[in-house]
Structure 1
Amino acid sequence: MANLKMLLVLLSLLLFLLIPVSSQPNQIFYAGFKGLDSSNMTLDGVAEIEPSGVLKLTNDSSKVMGHAFYPTALQFKNSSDGKAFSFSSSFALAIVPEFPKLGGHGLAFTIATSKDLKALPSQYLGLLNSSSIGNFSNHLFAVEFDTAQDFEFVDINDNHVGIDINSLVSNASAPAGFYAGDHDSDKQNLTLKSGQPILVWVDYDSAQSVVNVTISASSTKPRRSLLSFPVDLSPILRDSMYVGFSASTGLLASSHYILGWSFKINGPATPLDLSSLPQLPGPKRKHTSLIIGVSVSGAVLALFAVLLGFYMYRRYKNADVIEAWELEIGPHRYSYQELKKATKGFKDKELLGQGGFGSVYKGTLPNSNTQVAVKRISHDSKQGLREFVSEIASIGRLRHRNLVQLLGWCRRRGDLLLVYDFMANGSLDKYLFDEPEIILSWEQRFKVVKDVASALLYLHEGYEQVVIHRDVKASNVLLDGELNGRLGDFGLARLYEHGANPSTTRVVGTLGYLAPEVPRTGKATPSSDVFAFGALLLEVACGLRPLDPKAMPEDLVLVDCVWNKYKQGRILDVVDPRLNGAFNEREVLMVLKLGLLCSNGSPTARPSMRQVVRFLEGEVGVPDELRRQGETDSQEGFDEFLHLLDSSSFHQMSRSTYGGTSPSFTDTSLFTPTAKGETM
């Protein structure tokens, strides 16, 4: 009997050693995830366990998320005094971007009240949504490994580690790296999206009330942590919480992997050894369906070879040509055939709009049924390849809720195509001018101008470089299904480093929105964008174009008309009569006066976009008395510019750049390729 008992004990111990996971109420250990099911790990979204035993949270699809949680809630607090327990976790992660150097968006180690997170992908990392950000009721603790810089959440860069409590605005963050020694100079950088395994340690000391996060490219834990944040997690954590991982992709995608995971409450997590964890899958192999039988006769083989050569010649002739520079700019490169099919062969009935840069078509991507807008730059357009690349390189890396998101692009011989999110309500100008079918309420208009102001503030101050749009106007403001305003069309955008002076360029833009100093100096600046935004404010409030050659001479320039009414004390006379008096008078007065302030002839007298946003949010008031500086300079600049044009320069486009039906008065000579030798 004693031998039988001993045998049973040995069998139990053997089974314990063979099972890859050992879990107790306070401990988790996975040296790989092979063979696990829902009783070991709860997966949702696109998360899956690959045959190799690697946990894959997301794939290279756009705008998806994946979650992986330990299925049982763990006890995180002492029920007697409500004090949070100490805990320790170690895990190995790897992030493989779809395009080199372009991550999207990141993953997070997560402690949450539920496994079913009501969350969004992209910048929300699958943790929260736009309405739950910052709510104390979230009871969420996360450590993010973020590979996309988001202005909305004040990210420090596109390669950082952050500690998040109830929000995605990190309480503490640092560029990814580790300390080989104890001094600041000993820090060595790590690239999260390198595709290489990175080992992470997250430790919470309840007695000291501090969270430490440490990362390394080896299995040895550095002595100094990357992040150390003093915080008592007792108010954040509930008695029972779920622990796991979350990841998401945006317009750009990455595959996010967890190779192994260890977790323990009130003690150090079991160490992981990178060499013993499952390896990442290799790159996808390309297969060919061509199989040549070696037993065919020589004559048949020769005939087949001729036919094959002809076929390959035709295929090569019609193939998309990919040059070296195209591999670096991202985001997603579509095939020409895919976009042709999406737009039903670029049929006229799919045409959304037409302008100086070509035509925009509505399309439905065949594989995902996603509705998109495809901008096809016409063969005779003066927006050449450099401008096309400028739009890809600039907007492809910009991420803000009030920018039209670029999904991808295509270049095939002379065809240049850009693919955007479909904006269901088209461009703003069709709701303002002539006889619009739908009249936007004042509340809707005010929301749109605040959205555009937020986008411009991001371009001027929130991105890693200063981005000057150079073509802010109503036809380039798009409205989504909820009538949120989004700024689009970056074909004329210019980028330069913060603190540097913008270089001289050829004059580009649209009359009525063009700051008077630009034709003289050849320099576009954030202040010239502010001038154009001022024109936009006035046209939104008045329902009139900033420059109307059909109007009486005194009303030709909208800013002059509004200024004259302001001096007469009758500024409300210019408000769009189609509002029928249904507007907030305080807000309308503020928008009109701010429009005049932004449209000042003197660049130094104009506010910055940060000040503009503060005005629109009501944080500060617009001055009661306005003084128009540079009035003579403004008129001289305008006359200087007009003498270059004849009456034919004012032409009506059959449709606006994207979705509108109202005419846009544009100087076509302005849209010329960048001067030779000029820096993009």
Structure 2
Amino acid sequence: MLPRKLLLLLLVAVGVEAGVEFAYEGFPAAGLSLDGIASVTPDGLLLLTNDTDLNLAHAFHPAPLRFHRTSSFSTTFVFAIVSELNDLSTSGFAFLVAPTSRDLSSAMAAQYLGLFNASDNGDARNRVFAVELDTVRNPEFADMNDNHVGIDVNSLNSSAAAMAGYYDDATGAFRNLSLASREPMQVWVDYDAAATEITVALAPARSPRPRRPLLTTRIDLSTVVADTAYVGFSSGSSIVMCRHYVLGWSFSLDGAAPALDHAKLPKLPRIGPKPQSKTLAIALPMVTTAAVLAAVGVGLLLLRRRLRYAELREDWEVEFGPHRFAFKDLFDATAGFKDKRLLGTGGFGSVYRGVLPGTRTEVAVKRVSHESRQGMREFIAEVVSIGRLRHRNLVQLLGYCRRKGELLLVYYYMPNSSLDKHLHGHGHALDWAQRLRIIKGVASGLLYMHEDWEQVVIHRDIKASNVLLDGDMNGRLGDFGLARLYDHGADPQTTHVVGTMGYLAPELVRTGKATTASCWRTGCWGTGGMAPLSARWTRS
């Protein structure tokens, strides 16, 4: 018999060479190498991400492949992105080729797709080739939009990218596809080593491969892909519950990837409520006319009431801390959002003063429409960030409510309005003791966000109108709609300037990188900002 060590070496060698071509039409017996939250469902679907928040997912063909530096390769796979929110996903996923020596455990979830982290993104030592299917526009990676396909080499800043879709063979017209549509789609990726050319095509599942590819670019992968490497998929969950499924996958070295038989692919789980029973559908029309009329009359009354107070409620919301308010309670608290309760309006929407029934707590209700500058993602960012922050100099978010077309945030009412009113003559004049107390309060809140909380929160829009004053004239920082969260020690890595122009720190406008240091200086520079409060308030 062969010695145990020699036998293991032979098995590894066989595994390396045996994987030059494979096809999986479902994954129950594929023996994939899985880590993180990746799994194979009982139905045979490869499930990369589940409902777990901010975790990695990797799935690789079990045996490494020998690319010999100059090998061509071809792959195709069928996938579906199924989000709890229709057509909204806060992370994508990627097909990748990674060296056997690379440890992906240090990668980050969410926008990093489980591929890299803030410090190694762009490092040539990664030796990673990937094709990303991204459903979020991340300015720090110069993404073109929130629905694109990108070719990545050692970085999430794509070497080439295109809007998700395909070119119709009959007309040549471009057809858009929504990656997060919950519908199966097929991707084809080919690398021609002789021409150093990569092509990527995308189409709805069961459609033929488009003759014109979505992406074509010249990249010499011989300097990127290691001689021995793994092929597979990578993703990372985020704050919105989203499931990334792979239904089938084939791969070939130095040849065309085997075609997938769509009839053999596992089915996606049913989405939405069960269809109505046929028996019930037949029985209902047989009720008497009087009963129908009575039911319709009652139903119309209930429907009118229901529509008046209708809300949106989705499963992902149970993970967030802030309390969910009933719209009816907020409607009653603000006297039906009457104009006499209006505190102010702006690009963010409108704010109303209210008194909660029962507790008699005074609140400010911020009513934001989907058409305003703060959309769903900004709403989620604010709920997730400020909803878990607890500090006496931060405006406390009490809860929220969602309706079709609008979002509502509920805060403690600040009776002395915003700081800018008092600085510019619309309130009573502030003496220097009050000014100093406000400065120290806002600084204390910033210190908590930057150093004392579990993550670093960069506000990115500090200005006098976002500093509110309570009954004792203490300053409280509010409006976290543009806030970004980072792990302590991580580099923000952003190149997209946000905030109110005229209030931004000079280096933020120049570099595009929001940091805790620039956050201290933001708001002090514009004449309408914090400068009138104290000309000496800066911190480096």
- TM class, shorter-chain normalised? 0.5 to 0.7
> Once the two structures are superposed, what CA deviation does each residue of 1:240-283 show, in whole Å capped at 9, x if it has no partner?
11100012222223110000110011010101122321111113
Q: Using the aligned pairs only, state the percent identity.
A: 32
Match of 1:675 in 2: none
Aligned 8 A contact 1:105 1:253 in 2? no
- Kindly indicate whether residue 256 of structure 2 is the aligned counterpart of residue 268 of structure 1: yes
Match of 2:33 in 1: 42
- Kindly indicate whether residue 21 of structure 2 is the aligned counterpart of residue 27 of structure 1: yes
Q: Aligned match of 1:411 in 377, 401, 405?
A: 401
> Once the two structures are superposed, what CA deviation does each residue of 1:176-220 show, in whole Å capped at 9, x if it has no partner?
11112387x522111111111111110000011010001111341
Aligned 8 A contact 2:458 2:519 in 1? no
- Kindly indicate whether residue 403 of structure 2 is the aligned counterpart of residue 396 of structure 1: no
Deviation at 1:165, TM superposition (A): 0.7
Match of 1:58 in 2: 49
Q: Aligned match of 2:500 in 513, 529, 541?
A: 529
Q: Aligned match of 1:146 in 107, 118, 134?
A: 134
- What SS does structure 1 have at the residue aligned with 2:52? coil
Q: How many residues align?
A: 400
- What SS does structure 2 have at the residue aligned with 1:275? helix
Mapped partners of 2:77, 2:308: distance in 1: 39
Match of 1:198 in 2: 185
Aligned 8 A contact 1:431 1:437 in 2? no
Structure with greater proportional helix content: 1
Q: Aligned match of 2:218 in 207, 223, 230?
A: 230
1:410-559 matched pairs, under 5 angstroms: 410-411=400-401, 432-433=439-440, 471-473=465-467, 475-476=477-478, 482=488, 529-533=500-504, 540=520, 559=531
Aligned 8 A contact 2:16 2:63 in 1? no
Match of 2:396 in 1: none
Aligned 8 A contact 1:263 1:269 in 2? yes
Runs of at least 5 residues in structure 2 that lack an aligned partner in the other structure: 1-14, 275-301, 325-341, 344-352, 389-398, 412-435, 468-475, 509-516
- Cα distance change, pair 200–378 in 1 and its aligned pair in 2 (3 A): farther
Mapped partners of 2:522, 2:142: distance in 1: 35
Match of 1:289 in 2: none
Aligned 8 A contact 1:260 1:277 in 2? yes
Aligned 8 A contact 2:504 2:526 in 1? no
For the aligned residues, what is the CA RMSD?
5.3
- Kindly indicate whether residue 249 of structure 2 is the aligned counterpart of residue 249 of structure 1: no
Deviation at 1:155, TM superposition (A): 1.2
- What SS does structure 1 have at the residue aligned with 2:48? strand
AA matched with 2:199: N
Query: Which one has a bigger Cα radius of gyration?
Result: 1
- Cα distance change, pair 483–241 in 1 and its aligned pair in 2 (3 A): closer
> Once the two structures are superposed, what CA deviation does each residue of 1:145-175 show, in whole Å capped at 9, x if it has no partner?
1111111111111111110111111111111
Q: Aligned match of 2:195 in 190, 208, 211?
A: 208
Match of 1:128 in 2: 116
Aligned 8 A contact 2:118 2:490 in 1? no
Match of 1:104 in 2: 90
- Cα distance change, pair 377–49 in 1 and its aligned pair in 2 (3 A): farther
AA matched with 1:411: C
AA matched with 1:260: G
1:157-176 matched pairs, under 5 angstroms: 157-176=145-164
AA matched with 1:46: I
Aligned 8 A contact 1:92 1:197 in 2? yes
AA matched with 1:55: L
> Once the two structures are superposed, what CA deviation does each residue of 1:131-153 show, in whole Å capped at 9, x if it has no partner?
11100011011001111111111
Aligned 8 A contact 2:78 2:249 in 1? yes
Deviation at 1:113, TM superposition (A): 1.5
Deviation at 1:532, TM superposition (A): 4.0
1:271-350 matched pairs, under 5 angstroms: 271-283=259-271, 326=312, 332-334=316-318, 339=323
Runs of at least 5 residues in structure 1 that lack an aligned partner in the other structure: 1-20, 78-82, 287-315, 341-355, 358-375, 420-428, 457-468, 487-525, 548-555, 563-573, 584-680
Higher relative contact order (CA 8 A, sep 6+): 2
Structure with greater proportional strand content: 2
Mapped partners of 1:160, 1:99: distance in 2: 18
Mapped partners of 2:491, 2:382: distance in 1: 6
Mapped partners of 2:168, 2:477: distance in 1: 54
Mapped partners of 2:529, 2:200: distance in 1: 59
- Kindly indicate whether residue 80 of structure 2 is the aligned counterpart of residue 94 of structure 1: yes
- Cα distance change, pair 99–209 in 1 and its aligned pair in 2 (3 A): same
Aligned 8 A contact 2:75 2:190 in 1? yes
Mapped partners of 2:498, 2:244: distance in 1: 41
Deviation at 1:89, TM superposition (A): 0.3
- What SS does structure 2 have at the residue aligned with 1:529? coil
**How does the TM-score come out when normalised to structure 2?**
0.60
Deviation at 1:534, TM superposition (A): 6.6
- What SS does structure 2 have at the residue aligned with 1:397? helix
- Cα distance change, pair 337–41 in 1 and its aligned pair in 2 (3 A): closer
Deviation at 1:470, TM superposition (A): 9.2
